[in-house]
Structure 1
Amino acid sequence: MARVPLTINRIEKLSCPEGKSQVFMRDSEVPGLGLRCTPKRKTFIFEADLHGQTIRITIGEYPAWLLDTSQGSNEPSARRRARELRGLIDQGIDPRLQEKEAKAEHEKLLTAENKKNITLADAWPVYVQANASRWGARHLADHERLAHRGGDPRTRSKAKQTIPGPLAPLLDVKLTDLNADQISAWLEKENETRPTVAALAFRLLRAFLNWCDEQPEYTGLIPEINHAAKKVRQKVAKSKAKDDCLQKEQLPAWFANVQKLSPIFSAYLQTLLLTGARREELAELKWTDVDFQWKSLRLADKVEGERQIPLTPYVAKLLANLPRRNEWVFSSTSAQSGRIQDPRYAHNQALSWADLPPLTLHGLRRSFGTLSEWVECPTGVVAQIQGHKPSATAEKHYRRRPLDLLRKWHSQIEEWILEQATLRNTVS
């Protein structure tokens, strides 16, 4: 078929016709790049002629692999990988053979005589790849971000380059040298500038070291007394539970200034407060998840997998006024994913305008739970709306409230919050 410039829109619309096992779409921008679509999945592929034969290489599945990424991004990019493969083909190198050689070289590295030279940088990517499928997107991103060496160019910051992650100083340390003294000294140094992030990095490192002890190829490399030693545990900064929350007296200023933001960010932040949802599950809301007729929202839930909550009148009005650029409710014209990525900057700007104290996006979720107490809403109702795990036995095994009952209370919560914000008459 003819080559066309691959776009996210074209990829999303491509489907496999009934009666066919697969169809292809080939990119006109990067020679050799294509998309194979079957009834179950879409996969980026690379095709080229080498030594008189056509070779086909699977790059990766969409959307785990993005079509394009910004310069300096660590996210997997199909076009970038296709260009790398094209470069090898142009040199007469078969990428498949190179991959086999790389695998053989890696296996050689793991032989008994070379085991002692394995560093954290060698084993960390293996650990991440082995566990990525069962991790959430945020947890996976933490593993990549905290072990990043830094030095990548930055375009949207005063700093010209990204700073190294807290695990960067340990990347070139051999696993056999990751003893209690080494880890303790590293923690002490990191605690000087970023104790909270260092504590998170330590928890990730601890899980990694435990995993290594269970892998035959790394068995015996980790010193017996390292992360569990008392001298190490004493260096880990204690996590303090955050209690940032909007007070009812702050609601007028918060709403007034959030409404000055662009419509997408304004609607997102107001919906976040009025639903008590998690920041990512709301950012991932699609139009197919919104039922304006029966007044419900379907959210991806990390506890239950999915939950349905009421679409209250004011939130329904906010969403109905948003542009339908793509599948995402909170869309973005600049983000590669097509949806908003980091609303913190917009929120912080609104807080600055309102002269309000710092408030995280999770603080908005916390605010929903706190403010709901003013209408004496049952805690089990709030927990079900927010997607919290049931606590009491009765809640866990018996009380799963229907949507209509949730709507009764949720509408009261919304009405009370809007009344405090002097927005009570804005819902028509």
Structure 2
Amino acid sequence: MKLHFTKKALEALPTPAPGRGRAEYQDDEIKGLVLRVTEAGEKTFSAVRWSKATQKTIRLTLGPYPDVSIEKARKRAREVNEMIAAGTDPTEEQRRKRRELTLDQLFEIYLEQWARQRKKTAREDERDYANHLAPCFGRKRLGEIRRSEISRLHSEIGKEQPRTANKILALLSTVFGRAIEWGYAEVNPVHGLKRYQEKKRDRFLQRGELPRFFEALAALPNATARDFFLMCLFTGARRNNVLAMRWEDIELDEAAWRIPETKNGTPQIVVLHSVAVELLRQRQAMPHSPWVFPSTTSQSGHFEEPKKAWAQVLKNAQLTDVRIHDLRRTLGSYQAIAGASLAVIGKSLNHKSIQATQIYARLDMDPVRDSVQRAVDNILAYAKRSEASGD
């Protein structure tokens, strides 16, 4: 069936009824350009021409619509027509493409040439890829990965974890973006897929939850994990920065911790409450290590995965929907409760925005120190109150 290929026309094409097989439509502009529609609704461009040289009909798959646009399909079909007219078999090119990289191979290149050099979250990329993308697409050639398959994976993950689903989609899009830049791929199959709308978290430990939280921490057998969680709460620093905390960056006499480089790409001075200083002095008395939270089993040499310990804390404290990052939000929330300005909170937590950073740059560290001091004092005071008090 001949049809003038336009976006409106192709999107309006009906899906063949079950048992009817596939339907094919031929473009009335470029001879041999065909669109095949399956019962599942998938649309694929092909170039179909008779070859005098081989004395057979040659069908060359050009790619799925809309990943391959009508314009690109027509351009490629013209090229195929020219090759066939010249006596060349374009299926040789297709066989070459079948020898292209798998997604596993591309991801290794991505890690070596891009992520590990430029992204602080490279290890998160590795973990997300291993958990979600490798099982589905790792062994597939790049040209075999369909947009519809990616959409199904996104939907499956999104049923329970919409934020994770969006994160996986963004990672795959970035990997394909680099592949196009480096000449390994021509299209990004992620383009056009809609992300889930994410609700910003505002969870922090409430006053009535603090006593249970501190009791659960005190009962935690893993002292390194316990001290790590306390340091996250008392400093409001990001999890990865606390994990990689070094003694050489800490001035206990000045009650300050300098983070050489944060997620924002800038250094940060973190003021230390007196209880944080005391905790650090106690850890300093332990066997020497360059890390505040050392590990004898991790490759990095410092504590890395507190997932099990955190789950135990939440279970013992009877808390739900609380993440380690919410400890950072807890400090900021109690700063606000104590009357700190948004500028002071932003500076203490190293938030970054053009307007806010201009304000933060003019602030002295004294109001930041005072704000953190009062916030942690309040946290400790609430934690000591018994549940019988009614808080």
Tell me the TM-score normalized by structure 1. Answer: 0.61
Contact map agreement 2:213 2:317 (CA 8 A) in 1: yes
Please give the alpha-carbon distance, in whole angstroms, between the structure 2 residues aligned to 1:185 and 1:412: 49
2:126 is the alignment partner of 1:144: yes
Summarize the alignment of residues 128-277 of structure 1 with structure 2, pairs less than 5 Å apart.
Answer: 128-137=111-120, 139-148=121-130, 165-188=132-155, 190-191=157-158, 196-215=163-182, 217-218=183-184, 221-223=185-187, 226-229=189-192, 232-233=193-194, 236-261=195-220, 262-277=222-237
| Separation in 1, partners of 2:279, 2:273 | 10
Is 1:355 aligned to residue 318 of structure 2? yes
> Contact 1:167–1:201 (CA<8 Å) still a contact in 2?
no
Cα displacement (A) at 1:189: 5.0
8 Å CA contact 1:284, 1:339 repeated in 2:
yes
Q: For 2:122, give the aligned amino acid.
A: L
1:362 is displaced (CA, Å) by 0.4
User: Unpaired segments of 5 or more residues in structure 1?
Assistant: 1-110, 149-163, 424-428
Number of the residue aligned with 1:374: 337
Cα distance in structure 1, aligned partners of 2:163 and 2:353: 29
d(CA) in 2 for partners of 1:290, 1:264: 18
Aligned: 1:407 with 2:369:
yes
| Residue among 304, 311, 327 paired with 2:272 | 311
Rounded Cα–Cα distance in structure 1 between residues aligned with 2:125 and 2:228: 27
Q: CA deviation at 1:341?
A: 1.2
Residue of structure 2 aligned with 1:346, choices 309, 316, 336? 309
- Partner amino acid for 2:148? D
Q: Which has the larger radius of gyration?
A: 2
RMSD: 2.7
Is the CA contact (8 Å cut-off) linking 1:146 and 1:168 kept in structure 2? no
Superposed CA deviations along residues 167-189 of structure 1, whole A, max 9, x for unmatched, are 43212332223343343344445
2:255 aligned residue: 295
Query: 2:343·2:360 contact (CA, 8 Å) conserved in 1?
Result: no
Q: Percent of aligned pairs with the same residue?
A: 23
For the 8 Å contact 1:283–1:341, the answer to whether it is kept is yes
Matches within 5 A, 1:98-117: 114-117=96-99
Of 290, 296, 318, the match for 1:327:
290
1:417 pairs with 2:379: yes
Q: Quick one: which amino acid aligns to residue 200 of structure 1?
A: K
Task: Tell me: CA distance 1:338–1:177, structure 2 relative to 1, closer, same or farther (3 Å).
Answer: closer
Residue type at the aligned position of 1:181: S
Task: Please tell me whether the aligned partners of residues 273 and 365 of structure 1 are also in contact (alpha carbons under 8 angstroms).
Answer: yes
In structure 2, the CA distance between the partners of 1:254 and 1:183, relative to structure 1 (3 Å rule), is closer
* Mapped partners of 1:324, 1:344: distance in 2: 24
The question of whether the paired residues in 1 share the 8 Å contact of 2:335 and 2:375 is answered with yes
1:420 Cα deviation from its structure 2 partner: 1.5
Pair 1:120-2:79 in alignment? no
Q: Corresponding residue for 1:99?
A: none
CA distance in 2, matches of 1:179, 1:347: 38
**Structure 1 residues 189 and 269: alpha-carbon distance in aligned structure 2, compared to 1, 3 A threshold:** closer
- Indicate if the aligned counterparts of 2:228 and 2:293 stay in contact, CA closer than 8 A: yes
